Amino acid sequence: MTNTLNSIFQERFQKTARTFIAPGRINLIGEHTDYNEGFVMPAAIDKAVQLLIAPNGTDTCNIVAQDQSTEMSFSVHDLKPSKDWSTYVKGVIDGFQQLNCQPKGFDAIFSSDIPIGAGLSSSAALSSSFAFAINKLFDFGLDTLQLAKIGQRAEHNFAGVKCGIMDQYASLFGKKDSVVLLDCRSLTHQYFPLALHDHILLLVDSKVKHSLASSAYNKRRASCEEAVHIIQQSHPEVKSLRHVSKELLKSYQSTIPIESFQRSSFIVDEISRTQHAAELLKQNNLKAFGACMYETHEGLSKIYEVSCAELDLLVDIARQHEVTGARMMGGGFGGCTLNLIAKDKVQAFKEAVQKIYPITFNVTPAFYQVSIENGVNEILIK
Please state, in angstroms and rounded to a whole number, the distance separating the CA atoms of residues 22 and 39: 23
DSSP 115: P
Element (H, E) at 215: helix 213-232
Q: Which residues have CB under 8 Å from 219's CB, separation 6+?
A: none
> At residue 325, what are phi and psi to the nearest 5 degrees?
-150, 140
Instruction: Give the active site residue among 34, 94, 167, 205.
Output: 167
Computed over its alpha carbons, how large is the radius of gyration of the chain? 21
User: Taking the C-alpha atoms of 349, 355, 358 and 363 in order, what is their torsion angle to the nearest 10 degrees?
Assistant: 50
Please state, in angstroms and rounded to a whole number, the distance separating the CA atoms of residues 152 and 127: 8
Please state, in angstroms and rounded to a whole number, the distance separating the CA atoms of residues 233 and 361: 47
Q: Is 167 a catalytic residue?
A: yes
Please state, in angstroms and rounded to a whole number, the distance separating the CA atoms of residues 294 and 311: 12
Please state, in angstroms and rounded to a whole number, the distance separating the CA atoms of residues 13 and 53: 10
Quickly count helices (H) and strands (E) in the chain: 11, 13
Q: Measured between alpha carbons, how far is residue 124 from residues 7, 89, 210, 266 in Å?
A: 26, 11, 21, 27
Catalytic residue IDs:
167
